[in-house]
Structure 1
Amino acid sequence: MAKGTRVRSTSPPDGGWGWMIVAGCFLVTICTRAVTRCISIFFVEFQSYFTQDYAQTAWIHSIVDCVTMLCAPLGSVVSNHLSCQVGIMLGGLLASTGLILGSFATSLKHLYLTLGVLTGLGFALCYSPAIAMVGKYFSRRKALAYGIAMSGSGIGTFILAPVVQLLIEQFSWRGALLILGGFVLNLCVCGALMRPITLKEDQTTPEQNHVCRTEKQDFKRVSLCSTWTKKWGQTCLCCSLQQEYSFLLMSDFVVLAISVLFMAYGCSPLFVYLVPYALSVGVSHQQAAFLMSILGVIDIVGNITFGWLTDRRCLKNYQYVCYLFAVGLDGLCYLCLPMLQSLPLLVPFSCTFGYFDGAYVTLIPVVTAEIVGTTSLSSALGVVYFLHAVPYLVSPPIAGWLVDTTGSYTAAFLLCGFSMIFSSVLLGFARLVKKMKKTQLRFLAKESDPKLQLWTNGSVAYSVARELDHKDEQSVALALSVTTPHDQWP
C-alpha cells in the first residue's frame, strides 16, 4: 500500500475525494480523542476493582494522553517515509491490541503498559498524519474542513460516553474494554481512505535528496552488507530528516511552539476540575454533569461554525488573528470563573469557554500550515502535538496541589487563565514585530531606489527592477560597441 496510486495535483482540489479525507479524519478523532476521554469513565471501576487510591488510578488516563502527544512526531515520520495509510493502519492495530490486552489486566501496572503506553502509541501514529492529510486536500476551505474533521472529538464523546457506561453495566469493565478494542479497529478503515496526493510544491524537492535516494538504492543493489552502504544510508537518512524538520529553525515556528506550551497548560485542568468546582459551590451532581455536557456540545458548534466563519472572504486573511482572539477569550473566561458561584452563571461560562475552545483547536493546523507550508505540515503538527504532552501531564497535578495548598480553586484557575492570555499575547507581539520589520524594510528599499520592488521570502530578498536596469545597460553598451569605431571611443 506504500507504493499505491498517488493522486497528482498542482494545487489542493478543495473538494472531491477531499471530503472522504475529512470523513476519515472525523472518524480518526472519534477513535482516538473521544475514546481517550471515555477512558475516564472506567476510573471508578478500576479504583474499586484494584483497591488503589485516586492518584495511582488517575495515571492511566494521564499516560494515554501524554504518550499520544509525546509520540506524535513518530507518527509523522512513519507517514512520511512509508505512507499515511500504512501509519494509520499500524496505529489502529496497536491501539486495538492495547485495549484488548488491557481487558485481561490483573494489576494497574498492566494497565499502564497496555491501556496507557501501547494504546497511546497507536493513537499517536494515527492522529497527526490524518490531520495533515486534510491540509493537503484543502486550501480555500481549509478551516471549514478542519472544523468538521476535528468535531469528531466532541461528537464522539457525546455519543460514546453513555454507550461506554451501558457497556460497563452490561458486560463489566473487561467486556467494555474488549468491545472498545474492536471499535478502535475501524482506524484501519480510516487509513484506507487516506489516498496520497502530490502537490506542486511537493514535486519541487531539492535535487540533492533525489540523488541521495537514487544512489542509496544503487548501493543497496550492489551489497546489502557493505559497511559503505550502511554509512551512506545513515547519511541519507540524516539528510532526509534534516529536510523534513528544517522548519524548527524558523523563528515564527519557535514562537508558535513556546505559545503552544502555555496554551496547553491552561486548557487541560478545566476538564478535570469543572465538576468538582461546581460541586464545591453548591451545584448538584446532575447539574454539574450537565455543565460538562454543555461544554462538549458547544465545543462541536465552535469547531464547525468558527471554521466556516474564518473561511469567509472578510476573515480569510485574518485566521491568525482569530486564533489569538479565541485563545485569549478562553483565558479571560478562566479569570472570571472564581466569581461564578451558581448554576445560572456557570452555564454561560460553559457555553463561552466551550465555543472558543473548539474554535482555536480548529485553527491550530491552519496557523501551523500558514507558518511552515503544506509540505512540512505533517512533521510540524507532530511537533506541535508533541509539545502538548508535558503540559497535559503536569497541569492537572499542579492545579490540584494549588487547590490543596490554598483551599480554593482561585489560584489554579487564575494561573491557567494568565497562561492562555500570555500565549495569545506572545504570538500577537511576534506578528506585530514581524510586520513592523517588513514595513521598515520596504521603506528603506524605496528610499534607496524608487524603481526597487521588493519581495521577501524569509530572510531572502531580490530586486527585479535592478536586474532589468542592468540588462538595459548591457544592451546599450553592446550597441555602442557595434556602431562606434574604436578611435572615437571616449
Structure 2
Amino acid sequence: MPGEDRAEQGEEPAGAPAEERKENGDSKGTVPEQSAAAGAQEVEFVHPEGGWGWVVMLAAMWCNGSVFGIQNAFGILFLSLLREFGSEDDDDLRFRTAWVGSLSMGMIFFCSPIVSVFTDVLGCRVTAVGGAAVGLVGLLASSFVTSLGPMYFTYGIVFACGCSFAYQPSLVILGHYFKKRLGLVNGIVTAGSSFFTITLPFVLSGLLERVGLQNTMRVLCILMFVLMLAGFTYRPLLPVKPGNTRTGSRFPPLSKMFNINIWKSLGYRIWAFGIPAALYGYFVPYVHLMKHVEERFGKEASKEVLLMCIGITSGVGRLIFGRAADYVSGVNKVYLQVTSFFVIGLMSMMIPLCHMFGGLIAVCLLMGLFDGCFICIMAPIAFELVGDKDVSQAIGFLLGLMSVPMTVGPPIAGFLRDRLGSYDVAFYLAGIPPIVGGAVLCVIPWVEARRKRREKEEALNKDQDVTEKMMEPEKAEQEARSKTSESVL
C-alpha cells in the first residue's frame, strides 16, 4: 500500500522553480498551502501528469469495469432471474424482475450526493475501500436469496450503494494526478466498463449453465474484493479541506458539507437537467434487449454478441472521444455529448425495425460507440463548468439526479411489454428522451459564453472605477490650484 509521503512519488518540491516544472510537462494549479501560520500564502500545485497516477488510473479502470460491467450484463442475469423466481408467462414478472436491475443502477447514482460529501470529508481512499466492502457484502448476501423480495434489498440497495461509494472517488481522484491529459485518462478509465461488458456476458452465460445463479453471484464477489484492494491506491495529492475549527472536529459544518455554490452556475443547472432528461430510455436496451432478441430470433440466437458489440465500440468511443475532448476548448465539449445523445436515441428507435440479426449488430455497434462518448467526457465537462474545487459535489449531484430516469425506465419498458405483448413501443419511446435532452444541452455553450462576456465587462468596469478613484485626488488638487489662481487674479 502506498505511503502518505508525497515525496516518495518523485514529485518536485513546492519551492521548485516554475520554469523547471514547466519543462517537465506538468500542469499547474493554485491551491492554498496548509500552514499553521496566519496568512498562509498560496502555492502552485503541480499535477504530476503520470507517475503513481498511472497506477491510480488502472485501479479506477478496474472500478469502472467491475461496477458497470456487472450492471450492463444484467440482461443475462435477468433471464436467469425470470426462470429462477417464476414462470416466464407471468404477466407482471418482467415488470417486477426489471426492478432488481433498475433499482441497482438507480441507487448507484442516487447515493452520489452523499458520496461526494464523504469523499470531501474522508477522502477518496477511505470512501472507495469502504464502498467496495459494502458492495461485496450485498452481492454475497444476494447469492443466498431465494425470492425477488429480498433481492430488491441485497442487490438493488446494499450492493448498489457499495458500488456508488466505490465508483465516484475513482472519477475525483483522477483530477489530483492529471489536468492536460484528463480527457484521455477518463477515456481509458471508462473503457474498463467496456472491456467487462464484452467479456462478462459470455462468462456469466457459462457460469449460469454450469453452477447456477447463486454460485455465479459468489464468483462475482471476487471482482468486488479486487475492487476493495484497488481503492488503497487512491493517494490524495490536493490539500484536505479544513474541518470545523470552532469545535476541533475534522468534519466541517453541515452548511459547508453541501456546496450550493455550484447551483449558481446557469450552465451547470442546464447540464444537470438535460443529462437526466436524456436518460429515461438509456438503460432500457441493457435490461430488455436480450429478451427482445429471444422473442424475435429464438432462444438459439447469440444474444451475448450484441452486448459484446456494445462493449467493444463503447471502449473504442471512450478512447477516441476522450482524446478528442482534450482538443475541444472549454464547454464546447458539450457538443460531443449532444451528438452522442442524438445517435443513441435514433439507434434505440431502430431496434424494433431490425428484422435481421445483422442489422441489430450494426445498431448496437453505433449505440456503443456514442455511449462511450457520452460517458468519458462527463467529468471533464464538470471541471469546465464549476472548476476543480467544486467538481466532486457537482458530479455527485448530477449522478444523484440521474438516478430517477435510470431507475424508472426499464420497469416502464417491462410494463409496456407485459401489456402490449411486444417490446416495439418500449424501444420507440426509449429513443425520445435522449433526443430531447441533447437539444437542451445545446444551450450550454451559448450561456457560458454570455457569462464570460458579462464577467469581462464587469471586470473592465471595475478597473475603470478603480482608475477613476485613483485619479480623483489629482483632479481635486488641480481644481484647488485653479481656484487659488483665480482668487489671486
TM-score, normalised by the number of residues in structure 1: 0.81
Match for residue 168 of structure 2? 128
CA contact (8 A) 1:6 1:198 kept: no
SS of corresponding position for 1:273: helix
The 3 A distance-change label for structure 1 pair 111 and 344 is: closer
Aligned counterparts of 1:106 and 1:329: Cα–Cα separation in 2: 40
Displacement, 1:124?
1.1
242, 254, 272: which one aligns with 1:257: 272
Question: Aligned with 1:10: secondary structure?
Answer: strand
Number of residue pairs matched by the alignment: 447
- 1:485 deviates by 9.4
- What is the match of residue 466 of structure 2? 467
Asked if 1:62 corresponds to 2:106, the answer is no
Q: Deviations over 1:114-165 (max 9, x none)?
A: 2222111111111112112113322222211111001111101222333333
- Cα 1:56–1:433 change in 2 (3 A) is closer
Letter in 2 for 1:319: K
* Aligned equivalent of 2:306: 291
Higher helix share: 1
Q: Return the alpha-carbon distance in structure 1 between the equivalents of residues 472 and 462 of structure 2.
A: 16
Deviation (angstroms), 1:301: 0.7
The letter for the 2-side match of 1:267 is Y
1:100 aligns with 2:140: yes
* Structural mapping, 1:333-482, within 5 Å: 333-404=347-418, 409-435=423-449, 454=457, 462-475=461-474, 477=476
Change (3 A) 1:237 1:423: same
Write the letter of the residue equivalent to 2:412: I
1:390-448 CA distances to partner (integer Å, 9 max, x unpaired)? 21121122233444555554543333222111111112134335545766x59xxxxxx
Q: Out of 357-366 and 154-163, give the one that drifted further.
A: 154-163
5 Å-filtered alignment, 1:68-147, equals: 68-147=108-187
Counterpart AA for 2:220: L
Matches of 2:448 and 2:72, distance apart in 1: 39
* Percent of residue pairs identical: 24
2:255 paired residue number: 239
Question: Aligned pair in 2 of structure 1 residues 127, 288: CA closer, same or farther (>3 Å)?
Answer: same
Cα offsets for 1:282-312 (capped at 9, x unmatched): 5774344322321121111111111112223
CA pair 318-57 structure 1, distance change in 2 beyond 3 A: closer
CA contact (8 A) 1:310 1:316 kept: no
Gaps in structure 1 of 5+ consecutive residues: 204-209, 222-232, 443-452
Counterpart for residue 48 of structure 2: 13
**Cα distance in 2, alignment partners of residues 56 and 277 from structure 1:** 17
Q: Superposed, which structure 2 residues align to 1:298-309 within 5 Å?
A: 298-309=313-324
Tell me the residue number matched to 1:447: none
Are the structure 2 counterparts of residues 418 and 164 from structure 1 closer, same or farther at C-alpha, using a change threshold of 3 Å? closer
Partner Cα separation in structure 2 for residue 394 and residue 317 of structure 1: 30
Post-superposition CA distance 1:449-484 (Å, at most 9, x none): xxxx6356xxxx753244234324434645886xx5
Q: Do 1:38 and 1:160's aligned partners in 2 also have CA atoms closer than 8 Å? A: yes
Give, in whole Å, the separation in 1 of the partners of 2:171 and 2:107.
18
**Distance in 2, Cα, partners of 1:400 & 1:182:** 31
Aligned partners of 1:170 and 1:402: how far apart in 2?
33
**Change over 3 Å in CA distance of 1:413–1:180 after alignment to 2:** closer
| Match 2:69 to one of 3, 23, 34 | 34
Matched, 1:149 2:189: yes
The 5-angstrom pairing of residues 125-204 of structure 1 reads: 125-198=165-238
Contact 1:368/1:381 (<8 A) preserved: yes
Aligned residue runs from structure 1 range 479-490, under 5 A:
484=481, 487-488=484-485
Equivalent of 1:326, from 317, 337, 340?
340
The CA deviation at 1:193 is 0.9
2: CA distance, partners of 1:342 / 1:434: 45
SS state at 2:434 partner: helix
- Aligned-partner SS, 2:173: helix
The secondary structure found in structure 2 opposite 1:105 is coil
Instruction: Give the CA deviation at 1:77.
Output: 1.4
Q: Which amino acid aligns with 1:31?
A: S
TM-score, normalised via structure 2 length:
0.81
Aligned letter for 1:36?
Answer: Q
Contact conserved, 1:136 with 1:374, CA < 8 A, in 2? no
Inter-CA distance 416–125: structure 2 relative to 1 (3 Å threshold): same
Distance 1:428 1:268 in 2: 23
The CA distance in 2 between the partners of 1:346 and 1:132, in whole Å, is 36
Answer whether contact 1:143 1:362 (CA < 8 A) is retained. Answer: yes
Q: Displacement, 1:113?
A: 2.3
Q: Closer, same or farther in 2 for the Cα pair 1:425/1:29, shift >3 Å? A: same
In the TM superposition, residue 331 of structure 1 has moved relative to its aligned partner by: 2.1
- The separation in 2 between residues aligned to 1:150 and 1:88, in whole angstroms, is 16
Label 1:477 to 1:10 Cα distance change in 2 as closer, same or farther (>3 A): farther
Q: Distance in 2 between matches of 1:347 and 1:103?
A: 33
Residue 173 of structure 1, CA deviation: 2.9
Deviations 1:248-283 (A, max 9, x none): 343222211211221111311122333444455557
Over residues 347-389 of structure 1, what are the superposed CA-to-partner deviations in whole Å (9 max), with x where a residue is unaligned?
3222211101111111111212211112111111111111221
Show CA shifts across 1:91-119 (max 9, x none): 11111111222223343333332222211
387 and 316 in structure 1: CA distance in 2 versus 1, 3 angstrom threshold: closer
**Structure 1 residues 96 and 194, CA gap change in structure 2 (3 angstroms):** same
2:316 aligned counterpart, secondary structure? helix
Q: Which stretch shows the higher mean deviation, 297-306 or 340-349?
A: 340-349
Equivalents in 2 of 1:190, 1:255: separation in Å?
35
Tell me how far 1:80 sits from its aligned partner. 1.0
C-alpha distance in 1, partners of 2:317/2:464?
A: 47
CA contact under 8 A between 1:310 and 1:318: conserved in structure 2? no
Amino acid at match of 2:283: S
Which residue number corresponds to residue 214 of structure 1? 245
Q: Cα distance 1:330–1:48, how it changes in 2: closer, same or farther (>3 A)? A: closer
- After superposition, the C-alpha distances for 1:49-101 in whole angstroms (9 at most, x for unaligned) are 44464444333222321221111222211111111100011011111111222
Rounded Cα–Cα distance in structure 2 between residues aligned with 1:164 and 1:280: 21
Mapped partners of 2:5, 2:341: distance in 1: 40
Name the CA distance, whole Å, in 2 between partners of 1:338 and 1:162. 24
For structure 2, the 5+ residue unaligned runs are: 8-13, 15-43, 88-92
